Structure 1
Amino acid sequence: MSEKIMNNKRSAYMLTIQDATFDDHQAIADLHIQNWKIVYRNDLSEQYLAHDIHLDRKQVWHQRLSQPMEKRHIWVAKQSNQLCGFICIELDAHQDLGTLIDNLHVSPEAKGQGVGKQLLKTAAGIIEQKAQRQGIYLEVLASNLPAIGFYQRVGGTEHCSQTWQAPDGTVVDEFVYNWSDAGQLRC
């Protein structure tokens, strides 16, 4: 667990980053659902976002946190014991690109407060210690311009474009962003 005093324009607050536990699965699913409903509202079907997303994301996070995998690491960021972000990585998921950042989500209220950067730094530390390949990559929807801007600001570069078949069957354009070395995110 790491604790850091963070400052934003309004106040100082304590940010705690710790390994996710099974007890976090519901809050993680809720934040994942909340963000997808906002960010992917023009990319995924109305049916999925209104109904199917709830069971889908809850099953995903229940499974991930009830059946841990050696190469998967999940951390939560909390302010005043309330979840404000999470990151999920899979070490050495790609032969050339290295570790996959499968999920990085920050609550709308905490965006711009350094939560995403701290989660990336935490992940980078484990990647440096445990991964065989030091590279990091993630997939981001082409329509998610705020996330793309964030990844560029923290040193990510566009590797390629591709499509993603979403859980509702929709095919969506996306980019792969990468960092050649996890140390780039420790700064």
Structure 2
Amino acid sequence: MHTASWRTAYAGILPADYLAGQVEADHANSWRALLADRVTAGMFVAEADARVVGFAYLRPVGARILLDNLHAHPGARGQGIGSRLVEAGLGWAGESFPDREVYLEVLTANTAAIGFYESRGWQRTASGTVRFPDGTTVAEFEYTWRGVAPRTLIAAPDTNVTDPELR
């Protein structure tokens, strides 16, 4: 699902040959490394009709918490899944690491994601570039959550968001 999300969200932003090929292996390698790391992380999964329709992954990086991944299945976008996953992740971060701020990085050309984050109160705090394994370099923004972390999760009908904590 991660790769499917990238192939639609980053079409026209990242090279088409990278999205059609190497990105799948890069994601597999990245997830192997993330899941092998023994750091406490938060993984949240949204399910509908017994299938995964979205996920969020947060992890400590230095003195902050990185919202490292937030993806909804391409066919499930616009249904509030991302909002509920972010809410669950912020709640986890607020309870697990109350003195740390949460941040994320988003490609500057990903205007849909930028609109999503800004409409929910995230504030742009930095800019830079990111280099992908294929050598592509793309501009990105950093956004930081300055609000109070939600303490409850409100799930939509027919969508189950779970929060297994990885250790």
C-alpha spacing 1:186/1:162, structure 2 compared with 1 (3 Å): farther
Pick one of 175, 181, 187 that aligns with 2:141.
175
Equivalent residue letter for 1:84 = V
- Counterpart Cα distance in 2 of 1:140 and 1:61: 19
Alignment root-mean-square deviation, CA:
2.0
5 Å matches for 1:31-180? Answer: 31-65=1-35, 67=36, 69-91=38-60, 93-95=61-63, 98-180=64-146
Query: Percent same amino acid at aligned positions?
Result: 33
- Counterpart Cα distance in 1 of 2:71 and 2:148: 19
* 1:167 alignment partner, SS class: coil
Indicate if the aligned counterparts of 2:58 and 2:68 stay in contact, CA closer than 8 A: yes
Task: State the number of aligned residues.
Answer: 153
- Counterpart Cα distance in 2 of 1:170 and 1:137: 23
Residue 52 of structure 1, CA deviation: 1.0
In the alignment, structure 2 segments of 5+ residues that lack a partner are 154-167
Indicate if the aligned counterparts of 1:37 and 1:49 stay in contact, CA closer than 8 A: yes
Residue 85 of structure 1, CA deviation: 0.4
- Counterpart Cα distance in 2 of 1:104 and 1:185: 19
TM-score (norm 1): 0.74
Q: Whose relative contact order is higher, 1 or 2, with alpha carbons under 8 Å and at least 6 apart?
A: 2
- Counterpart Cα distance in 1 of 2:27 and 2:74: 18
Residue 63 of structure 1, CA deviation: 4.0
C-alpha spacing 1:94/1:62, structure 2 compared with 1 (3 Å): closer
C-alpha spacing 1:46/1:69, structure 2 compared with 1 (3 Å): same
Indicate if the aligned counterparts of 1:134 and 1:181 stay in contact, CA closer than 8 A: no
Q: Deviations over 1:77-128 (max 9, x none)?
A: 100111110001013x143xx2100000011222121111111111112111
Residue 61 of structure 1, CA deviation: 2.4
- Counterpart Cα distance in 2 of 1:37 and 1:175: 20
Residue 186 of structure 1, CA deviation: 6.2
C-alpha spacing 1:51/1:103, structure 2 compared with 1 (3 Å): same
- Counterpart Cα distance in 2 of 1:185 and 1:155: 16
128-137 vs 106-115, greater mean Cα deviation: 128-137
In the alignment, structure 1 segments of 5+ residues that lack a partner are 1-30
TM-score (norm 2): 0.82
Residue 167 of structure 1, CA deviation: 2.0
